[in-house]
């Protein structure tokens, strides 16, 4: 093993390898670059592969999508269907819908590619969401990775729009309904709404232009943008090195793991194969978007249970639970019942996510570089806020399926609406409180484990006849994980040593900052060695004593603001 790393001089390289490498090196001077990167270390954790699912789904989307364009006709010219799907024979439909039927029923393997494409789209967005949650809850977005976090949010937004345009292309009744809603939302925008609507559709809904326009955006502009952002995302990640989980050997100054070549390369290659395999499995055995059952788009027709794809569910849900608010004055109308649900929830989720790294930095005053991730429990406010956002998103998402819920579980439709109207406010609050409590009790347990060890299950009887359980000290590996918790820094004092108010705590903004920082840290539970109480056993490190001895803890440094 060591011989191979000792340098190329010691090993006789075959001429084919040597020759081609030299050929490249003569022209690009690439050997230095390859040499530095071929052994790049990648830390291992299963959750680090969620982003890879998104990357590979995107590649599969490009491949299958290219295949579909060979037959798809983005045209709204009305034709009479004469393909091999009997029940629709002789029906008037747009060429887009007819060519989708042709891909499904008259091109061999066409349905498979269509289904893989659609499943890959769902998996793409789902894995982006899962990856984003992983990054958030482990604090991997912290300095120096804020820009990559923002790029990720940009790609998420683009992915949603890309998906909406994609599933609208076949011009079936279900997607046409989605398009109709899109049009209604565009129309309701104050001042410019009707212009945006007419310009988007080339006239009145549905017109004859929208499918070809969405087609261009779907196959060229948006994938191009995503591709550019993916490249930037990957290059930044490569340059900054991946974050690591707080385990042994992983520190802020070093990274521990397997080299890119050959191990990581093989692993990620295997993962691409798994992703393609799972998508092929779904495409082969699970029917998705059976447009032939939905029928061609007809502005007078509608189906119960008309839902968008899951990533649009949050919009659908917020539209559904909104009360009928509308302002009409001076000859103008503003429809709050459309505007608020269309803008506010997504604005809150995306805007909140984008602002969070900077907000957190401002509150905690932590401007250091972070390469080792936090365990979610060790940042209870962040984890709680994240869970609140998950609850908010999830409740609106579920509200988008309230008719399916009402129908499947036989509850009143309006009752579900009222439930969601309250839940959307109470749910996040509850999620925050519960999550924070759970985090703190996990911290308490960690502190206990460090101080007293793990329960061994061995019961000892003392000479006096008392029983006690023997505790064994945690293993070094466990201790590294447990002790990765950084004790929260105390609040920056309101006044400095000379009694002059610190600049950062002046004024209403300063007060707000101090208060937020207190909320961030006040109930922190220190996890450290030698911090034992006489009788431990779970009741030791309460909330109350988290304040006074801040200065004695590890990492006591105050950071001025």
Distance CA 320, CA 306 (A): 12
Q: Which two tokens stand for residue 123?
A: 């998996």
Considering only 147, 198, 438, 483, the residue that binds other proteins (CB under 8 A) is 198
Closer CB to other proteins, 102 or 446, in the complex: 102
Q: Are 559 and 366 in contact (CB under 8 A)?
A: yes
Residues 59-98: x where in contact with other proteins by CB under 8 A, - otherwise, as a string: -----------------xxx-----xxxxxxxx-------
- The angle subtended at Cα 384 by Cα 382 and Cα 386, nearest 5°, is 70
Rule CB under 8 A: is residue 183 a binding residue for other proteins?
Answer: yes
Burial 208-241 (b: 16+ CB within 10 A, else e): eebbebbbeebbeebbebbeebbeebeeeeeeee
Q: Which is nearer to other proteins, 5 or 557 (CB)?
A: 5
Structure tokens at 497: 């040593």
469 and 455 in contact (C-beta within 8 Å)?
yes
Residue 346 structure tokens = 């997504």
* Residue 256 interacting with other proteins (CB under 8 A): yes
Residues sharing a CB contact under 8 Å with residue 450, sequence separation 6 or more, in sequence order? 474, 479, 482, 483, 527, 528, 529, 531
Q: How many residues does the chain have?
A: 561
Candidate segments 374-382, 463-471, 474-482, 520-528, binder of other proteins by CB under 8 A = 474-482
**Residues 291-330 vs other proteins: string with x where CB under 8 A?**
-xxxx-xxxxxxxxxxxxxx--x--x--xxxxxxxx-x--
Nearest to 332 by CA among 203, 201, 193: 193
Q: Work out which of 25, 79, 229, 258 binds other proteins, going by CB under 8 A.
A: 258
The closest alpha carbon to 54, from 120, 142, 144, belongs to 120
Give the residue, chosen from 55, 61, 123, 395, that forms a contact with other proteins under the rule CB under 8 A. 123
**Which of 10, 286, 461, 500 contacts other proteins by CB under 8 A?**
286
What are the beta bridge partners of residue 94?
78
Min dist CB 109 to other proteins, Å, is 5
Q: Which lies closer to other proteins via its Cβ, residue 209 or residue 469?
A: 209
Q: Does 54 bind other proteins (CB under 8 A)?
A: no
Q: Which is nearer to other proteins, 91 or 483 (CB)?
A: 91
Alpha-carbon dihedral sign for residues 328, 329, 333, 337: negative
Point out which span in 62-70, 115-123, 509-517, 547-555 binds other proteins (CB under 8 A): 115-123
Q: How far is the CB of 270 from other proteins (least distance, A)?
A: 4
CB closer to other proteins out of 65 and 308:
308
Between 281 and 460, name the residue whose CB sits nearer to other proteins. Answer: 281
Phi then psi dihedrals of residue 461, to 5 deg: -110, 125
- Binding residues for other proteins, rule CB under 8 A, total 175
- Residue from 401, 474, 488, 527 in contact with other proteins (CB under 8 A): 401
C-alpha 75/C-alpha 419 separation (Å) is 43
- Count other Cβ atoms within 10 Å, centred on residue 310: 16
Minimal distance, residue 413 CB to other proteins, in Å: 5
Judge if the upstream peptide bond of residue 144 is cis by omega within 30 degrees of 0.
Answer: yes
Packing angle of the helix pair 265-285, 110-137 (nearest 10 deg): 130
440 binds other proteins per the rule CB under 8 A: no
| Tokens encoding 103 | 């891909």
Tokens describing residue 242: 């991946």
HSE-up of residue 233 (Cα within 13 Å, Cβ side):
20
Based on CB atoms, which residue is closest to other proteins, 70 or 433? 70
379-387, 471-479, 500-508, 540-548 -> range binding other proteins (CB under 8 A): 471-479
**Among positions 138, 275, 449, 517, the unique one binding other proteins when judged by CB under 8 A:** 275
Instruction: Map the footprint of other proteins across residues 230-249, applying CB under 8 A.
Output: 235, 238-241, 248-249
Query: Of 141, 156, 197, 432, which one interacts with other proteins (CB under 8 A)?
Result: 197
The token pair that represents 139 in the structure block: 């604090």
Which of 65, 139, 170, 193 is the binder for other proteins (CB under 8 A)? Answer: 193
Q: What is the secondary structure of 181-203 as a DSSP string?
A: HHHHHHHTSTTTHHHHHHHHHTS
Q: Which stretch binds other proteins (CB under 8 A): 152-160, 173-181, 343-351, 464-472?
A: 173-181
Residues 212 and 3: their CA atoms lie apart, in Å, by 60
Does 190 participate in binding other proteins (rule CB under 8 A)?
A: yes
Residue 118 to residue 64: CA distance in whole angstroms:
9
Applying CB under 8 A, among 21, 31, 45, 453 the residue interacting with other proteins is 45
Residue 397 C-beta: closest distance to other proteins, Å:
9
50 is an interface residue for other proteins by CB under 8 A:
yes
Contact pick of 219, 282, 431, 492 for other proteins (by CB under 8 A): 282
Q: Show the site string, 508-547: x = touches other proteins by CB under 8 A, - = not.
A: ----------------------------------------
Binding-site member from 31, 47, 361, 504 for other proteins (CB under 8 A)? 47
Shortest approach of other proteins to residue 96 CB, angstroms? Answer: 13
- What are the φ/ψ torsions at residue 171 (nearest 5 degrees)? 60, 40
474 is a site residue for other proteins (CB under 8 A): no
């Amino acid at each position: 093993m060591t011989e191979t790393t000792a340098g190329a001089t010691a090993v006789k390289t075959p001429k084919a390898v040597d020759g081609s490498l030299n050929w490249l090196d003569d022209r690009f001077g690439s050997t230095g670059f390859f040499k530095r990167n071929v052994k790049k270390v990648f830390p291992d954790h299963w959750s680090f592969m969620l982003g890879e699912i998104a990357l590979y789904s995107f590649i599969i989307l490009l491949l299958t999508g290219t295949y579909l364009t060979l037959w798809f006709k983005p045209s709204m010219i009305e034709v009479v269907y004469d393909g091999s799907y009997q029940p629709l024979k002789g029906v008037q439909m747009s060429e887009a819908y007819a060519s989708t039927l042709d891909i499904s029923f008259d091109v061999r393997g066409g349905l498979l590619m269509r289904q893989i494409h659609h499943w890959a789209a769902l998996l793409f967005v789902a894995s982006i969401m899962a990856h984003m949650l992983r990054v958030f809850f482990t604090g991997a977005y912290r300095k120096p990775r804020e820009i990559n976090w923002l790029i990720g949010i940009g790609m998420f937004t683009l992915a949603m729009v890309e998906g909406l345009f994609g599933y609208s292309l076949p011009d079936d009744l279900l997607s046409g309904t989605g398009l109709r809603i899109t049009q209604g939302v565009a129309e309701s925008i104050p001042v410019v709404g009707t212009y945006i609507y007419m310009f988007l559709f080339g006239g009145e809904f549905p017109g004859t232009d929208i499918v070809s326009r969405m087609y261009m955006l779907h196959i060229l502009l948006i994938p191009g943008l995503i591709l550019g952002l993916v490249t930037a995302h990957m290059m930044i990640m490569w340059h900054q090195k991946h974050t690591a989980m707080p385990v042994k050997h992983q520190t802020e100054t070093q990274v521990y793991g397997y080299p890119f070549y050959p191990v990581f390369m093989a692993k990620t290659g295997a993962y691409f194969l798994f992703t393609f395999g799972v998508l092929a499995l779904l495409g082969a055995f699970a029917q998705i978007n059976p447009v032939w059952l939905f029928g061609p788009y007809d502005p007078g027709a509608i189906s119960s249970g008309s839902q968008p794809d899951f990533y649009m569910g949050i919009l659908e849900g917020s539209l559904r639970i909104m009360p009928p608010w509308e302002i009409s004055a001076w000859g103008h109308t503003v429809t709050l019942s459309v505007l608020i649900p269309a803008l506010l929830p997504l604005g809150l989720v995306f805007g909140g996510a984008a602002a969070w790294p900077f907000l957190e930095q401002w509150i905690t005053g932590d401007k250091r570089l972070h390469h080792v991730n936090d365990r979610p429990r060790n940042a209870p406010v962040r984890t709680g806020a994240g869970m609140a956002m998950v609850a908010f998103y999830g409740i609106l998402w579920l509200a988008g399926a309230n008719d399916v819920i009402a129908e499947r579980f036989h509850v009143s439709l309006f009752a579900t609406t009222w439930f969601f109207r309250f839940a959307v406010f109470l749910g996040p609050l509850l999620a925050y409180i519960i999550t924070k409590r759970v985090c703190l009790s996990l911290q308490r347990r960690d502190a206990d484990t460090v101080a007293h060890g793990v329960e061994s299950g061995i019961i000892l009887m003392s000479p006096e006849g008392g029983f006690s359980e023997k505790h064994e000290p945690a293993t070094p590996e466990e201790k590294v994980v447990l002790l990765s918790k950084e004790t929260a820094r105390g609040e920056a004092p309101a006044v400095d040593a000379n009694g002059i108010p610190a600049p950062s705590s002046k004024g209403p903004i300063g007060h707000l900052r101090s208060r937020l920082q207190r909320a961030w840290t006040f109930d922190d539970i220190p996890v450290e060695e030698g911090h034992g109480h006489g009788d431990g056993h779970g009741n030791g490190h309460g909330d109350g004593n988290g304040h006074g001895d801040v200065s004695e803890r590890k990492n006591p440094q105050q950071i001025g603001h």
